Amino acid sequence: MRQAPCATCATPSVGKRIVIAGGGYAGTTAAVNLGRKLKGRSDVEIMLIEPNAHQQALSELDLVAVGPARAEFCELWLARVFKNLPVTVCYNRVTSVNPASHSVTVGSHGVTTGEVDYWRLVLATGAVAFVPPVPGLAEHAVTMWSVADAQELQRRGEVQFRVAAKLDPIDRPRALSFTVIGGGATGIEIVGTLAELLPKRIHTFGLDRSDLRIRLVEGRPDILYDLPQQLRERTKRHLAKLGVELITGSMVSRVERDTVHLENGSVIDSSVLVFCGGAKAEPSALEWGLEADASGRLVVSEVCKAPGYDDIYVVGDISAFRDTETGRTIPMLAQFAIREAEHTAKNILRELRCEQPTPFPSGMHGEFVSAGPRWGIGWMFGLNLSGIPAIIMKRLTYVLYWLQVGGILLAVRRTREMLKMQR
């Protein structure tokens, strides 16, 4: 039975433009999925608006932050991803959303370049690092939210290796004191990689493992609150084996050039400080007149649309999707960004066929965290894993993503590169 045409589809189908703002995990996935399905359709246009020429695959950042990966390992060039797909990439930023005229304003550095009309808009502008107003923190810590951050950590490390190499052995631990603030997944990944790889790096500078101090500071009493207790304990044992000193239960109160002060009065030497304590939704979204929750993420319905706007989808970290079973907002994770984007692409295709969009099934099937290039922990379908099986599962998620957005060639090339690093 043919359905009666809906109001949108009753209008001439020439020039239906799907605009996607943000080319991270969510935006790139949505554009690839739509591009593959709409190849050959002259009545639908897909435009991705993203300021960077490449997607930064943030979940692979730890391998760049300490080495051995080069920056390119986390970068997916958009021109290559969309080479054979009907997706136009506009290298710019969305500066405002104008629901009344179904358009977005595009520009950068305060200069407006133009307006782009949309039939459907997908907002996927992600999140940024959140640094709390602790005195000295923003000034002295490097955050971990971009390839540039990862390179900055590498640079600071290199400077300290050179400084330490010129010092008497007794003074070296001060110069080689690395502190990571934040015992969530990102902090654990960074500290684990530091602890495993730094001893090899400093060796080439004539320095020894005993010269290093690596600490993880977490204000709450424990680390990795999203994971079961048994996995947290295993992680703590693993970090202890790697020589990481774990300091929990006291918040950072002040940071100076080479020291971190805690609320309990302790003072820690810290020549290189990394802050992995939080993230917040990309703040410009708050200026777009859409409903946001208290944390600044945009509120969405069960089909990932902005309430009151039938033609605006919001996906990925910027979206505050509430799990219908738990009532909790789903965490900022690549796995959700990718799944929301895949589902949204399907919903847009449904709407093109005049069918109703379906709710996003937000249940979590598993989560994996690495602590160094060769060790991980996590769970899937109720089964806890640690060590090599967990790291294999974590790296497999990368391979699946490369396969999905870049095809078999990219997946094979990157997998080879990754396997070399595991040795």
Residues near ligand FAD (CB under 6 A): 21-27, 49-52, 58-59, 61, 93-94, 124-127, 144-145, 186, 282, 284, 316-317, 332-335, 337
CB of 146 to ligand FAD, least distance (A): 8
Minimal CB distance residue for ligand FAD = 24
Using the minimum distance from each CB to ligand FAD, give the nearer residue, 142 or 247: 142
CB of 51 to ligand FAD, least distance (A): 5
CB of 363 to ligand FAD, least distance (A): 15
Using the minimum distance from each CB to ligand FAD, give the nearer residue, 119 or 368: 368
Using the minimum distance from each CB to ligand FAD, give the nearer residue, 20 or 175: 20
CB of 139 to ligand FAD, least distance (A): 21
CB of 353 to ligand FAD, least distance (A): 26
CB of 107 to ligand FAD, least distance (A): 10
Using the minimum distance from each CB to ligand FAD, give the nearer residue, 94 or 227: 94
Q: Which residues are paired to 262 by β-bridges?
A: 252
CB of 63 to ligand FAD, least distance (A): 10
Using the minimum distance from each CB to ligand FAD, give the nearer residue, 150 or 352: 150
CB of 190 to ligand FAD, least distance (A): 7
State the Cα–Cα distance between residues 154 and 350, nearest whole angstrom: 46
Using the minimum distance from each CB to ligand FAD, give the nearer residue, 20 or 137: 20
CB of 92 to ligand FAD, least distance (A): 7
Q: Is 319 in contact with 340 (CB distance < 8 Å)?
A: yes
Chain center to CA of 317 = 8
Using the minimum distance from each CB to ligand FAD, give the nearer residue, 174 or 275: 275
State the Cα–Cα distance between residues 295 and 311, nearest whole angstrom: 24
Q: What is the identity of the amino acid at 300? A: V
List the 259-262 sheet strands across, edge first.
252-256, 259-262, 267-269
Using the minimum distance from each CB to ligand FAD, give the nearer residue, 22 or 406: 22
State the Cα–Cα distance between residues 83 and 233, nearest whole angstrom: 46
Q: Is 239 in contact with 192 (CB distance < 8 Å)?
A: yes
Q: Nearest 5°: phi and psi at 254?
A: -165, 145
Q: Which residues are paired to 49 by β-bridges?
A: 21, 90
Q: Which residues are paired to 20 by β-bridges?
A: 48, 122
Using the minimum distance from each CB to ligand FAD, give the nearer residue, 21 or 81: 21
CB of 392 to ligand FAD, least distance (A): 14
Query: CA neighbours within 13 Å on the CB side: how many for 118?
Result: 28
Using the minimum distance from each CB to ligand FAD, give the nearer residue, 138 or 354: 138
The bridge status of strand 259-262 relative to strand 252-256 is antiparallel
